[in-house]
Structure 1
């Protein structure tokens, strides 16, 4: 199998890396955290690079690219621990392009691609425990339209987004809807997250909504799998930079008159971190390549990928802090922010224990060692 990237993919990587290096410094990120965890101006800069339209067809003003390009972009954003939720934009572009009626596509996809509209997935509910079919939200048909009543938790930039993709129950089955934040009956309560980003509780009380699809569970599973693949790629980028920062520290910090990077025990720990990073990288590739596979194959592959990424992110983050010593947990030092990002990502779209259960449940009879 050819794992080389095309020239176009390398040019895309280079463009995003240059923006991160020049336009998203650690100081700028700290200012964004102090301002609430989201800056529309920074998100607009990402859109101007074309990234908001990555999964949107050219017919709707997007780039019409695929999962490998998404992986390349998210790795680079991970290296800069960028707070602006491009993962959510990739989800919105993929779901609306694949499932929405033409009227909804025409109304929203060009606006998403240009960065004018930020649309995020609002699917988590209290007590759902990552189960996508556990949904208390209710949708009711009102003439030619729909109304929704729901409470959704930990919605990324929920008090800043322009619209939400919301799963709700219709006659006992899950359907997917689009709800504008400015609509009647919509209220939000924003707050900061552990990694410096922003989320919100979103409450809908008979809020008007546009139907995306009545096959809501399939669409929601696809949405979450897009999110998992993007998060895996972002995690690789975060770990890559975390390792680089840690290696640099070991090669500049002295103890007993010598650089601590010369200590064999610490070299072994760095080698273990590198092994976990490469395991994660290979599974991120796997996730990207399986994102357009048939549903059961895709779901099984993405659960495997997220499990490995969870293990790797926890290990790399914890080792980086321990190798730095006390400075590794101070807010003034950059590696603590990478550690917090890795910790939060491990729980995003299902934590490691959840995905271990998913892998187990989706195992086939022929999956044994001697099959």
Structure 2
């Protein structure tokens, strides 16, 4: 099977690859990360100009109607340069949740960059299970009242709108909640990979009737399918990160000298870099497999995505840790981007369920 990108997908990859190289250099990242910490959106506005925020939005909703493989090309470039923008959360997961539900205005806000959207789907007591929801949505005069709490809202620290799952009495519903809604408390924090996440507390947040996204009480299948698309975006990001680590580690082995020779001449280290390259290629194959199953029947999709998430997470941690080890003491310093890649791969492994969670999900889907 041909796993190469099409010409159009290669152009997408090259576009973001150049953007990443220009805006997120391997050296001197601290000023850029400081800007991100205070919510600077200059680089996000550049992505708007490139048009890629509309990639995963259907054409009939004003987007480009790109495929999951198109998103994969973009996210591989994101991973190569550790671009810490909320692309998967706002431009992959959110459109998959919103498409076809009558929330065209929010989709337009995503594509033109005027709003960043984050999904609040998991809770402290539920682990990574999307169907274990304690947050309640009760009918109120002309709308809904939401009460509960959400944890680890990926990229929620800079979000303007949240998509919140809640129990409606007859199933799980999904609700559009503005970040400034009365009764909503947003607790922001930076994770080790410098993404800005959040926790939410909803104390009787009152919403209009139009806040519901899709069918009342019937949102779980939509949520599960959308999260699988987000997972595949992260798998491609992990592949890009691993490729970057293999390349920079191989270059380091060729240039770092010990005992008068390049350390890459030591057979033991040659074995390690080969193992890293094999793991990165295995991760690429699993990411493709998962992505190409996104439009299959739900059981097939869940099994393929769970297998990809579990194995790519394992490969990513292996490659990241080997890269740090082969760089020696400098590998753990903040000045070298190797440690940043490992931190991001650790967070990708945790996003939407770690490897252990998806091994169980794979078994349950059999």
Q: TM-score range by the shorter chain?
A: over 0.9
User: TM-score scaled by structure 2?
Assistant: 0.94
- Report SS of the residue matched to 2:203: strand
Once residues 59 and 223 of structure 1 are traced to their aligned partners in structure 2, the CA distance between those partners, rounded to angstroms, is: 18
User: TM-score scaled by structure 1?
Assistant: 0.93
Q: 1:149 aligns with which of 129, 136, 147?
A: 147
Partner of 2:327: 324
Structure 2 gaps of 5+ residues are none
1:235 shift after superposition = 0.3
1:267 and 1:27, CA in 2 relative to 1: closer, same or farther beyond 3 A?
closer
Q: Deviations over 1:54-98 (max 9, x none)?
A: 111223331111100000000000001111110012111122114
> Are the counterparts in 2 of residues 39 and 84 from structure 1 also a CA contact under 8 Å?
no
Q: Deviations over 1:344-368 (max 9, x none)?
A: 11111100111111111222xxxxx
- Report SS of the residue matched to 2:134: coil
Once residues 40 and 243 of structure 2 are traced to their aligned partners in structure 1, the CA distance between those partners, rounded to angstroms, is: 25
1:279 shift after superposition = 0.7
Q: 1:348 aligns with which of 348, 351, 359?
A: 351
> Are the counterparts in 2 of residues 346 and 352 from structure 1 also a CA contact under 8 Å?
yes
Residue 130 in 1 paired to residue 128 in 2? Answer: yes
Once residues 49 and 150 of structure 2 are traced to their aligned partners in structure 1, the CA distance between those partners, rounded to angstroms, is: 30
Residue 281 in 1 paired to residue 284 in 2? Answer: yes
Once residues 341 and 157 of structure 2 are traced to their aligned partners in structure 1, the CA distance between those partners, rounded to angstroms, is: 25
Runs (4+) off by over 4 Å = none
1:28 shift after superposition = 6.4
| Aligned residue pairs, count | 359
Once residues 166 and 33 of structure 1 are traced to their aligned partners in structure 2, the CA distance between those partners, rounded to angstroms, is: 28
1:263 shift after superposition = 0.6
Q: Deviations over 1:269-322 (max 9, x none)?
A: 111111111110001111111112111111111001001111101110111111
Once residues 131 and 111 of structure 1 are traced to their aligned partners in structure 2, the CA distance between those partners, rounded to angstroms, is: 29
Partner of 1:211: 212
1:181 shift after superposition = 0.5
Q: 1:95 aligns with which of 85, 94, 97?
A: 97
Residue 13 in 1 paired to residue 13 in 2? Answer: yes
Partner of 1:72: 73
The farther-off stretch of 348-357 and 146-155 is 146-155
Q: 1:183 aligns with which of 181, 184, 195?
A: 181
- Report SS of the residue matched to 1:9: helix
Residue 170 in 1 paired to residue 172 in 2? Answer: no
Partner of 1:369: none
Q: 2:240 aligns with which of 237, 240, 243?
A: 237
- Report SS of the residue matched to 1:292: coil
The farther-off stretch of 38-47 and 324-333 is 38-47
Residue 60 in 1 paired to residue 61 in 2? Answer: yes
> Are the counterparts in 2 of residues 32 and 39 from structure 1 also a CA contact under 8 Å?
no
> Are the counterparts in 2 of residues 286 and 305 from structure 1 also a CA contact under 8 Å?
yes
RMSD (Å), alpha carbons: 1.5
Structure 1 gaps of 5+ residues are 364-371
1:113 shift after superposition = 0.7
Superposed counterparts of 1:17-56, under 5 Å? 17-27=17-27, 29-35=29-35, 37=37, 38-56=39-57
Once residues 157 and 4 of structure 1 are traced to their aligned partners in structure 2, the CA distance between those partners, rounded to angstroms, is: 30
Q: 1:313 aligns with which of 316, 321, 326?
A: 316
Residue 267 in 1 paired to residue 263 in 2? Answer: no
1:47 shift after superposition = 2.2
Superposed counterparts of 1:243-254, under 5 Å? 243-254=246-257
Q: Deviations over 1:212-251 (max 9, x none)?
A: 0231211111121011100100000011101111111111
> Are the counterparts in 2 of residues 77 and 234 from structure 1 also a CA contact under 8 Å?
yes
Q: Deviations over 1:314-348 (max 9, x none)?
A: 11011111111111101111111111111111111
> Are the counterparts in 1 of residues 310 and 359 from structure 2 also a CA contact under 8 Å?
yes
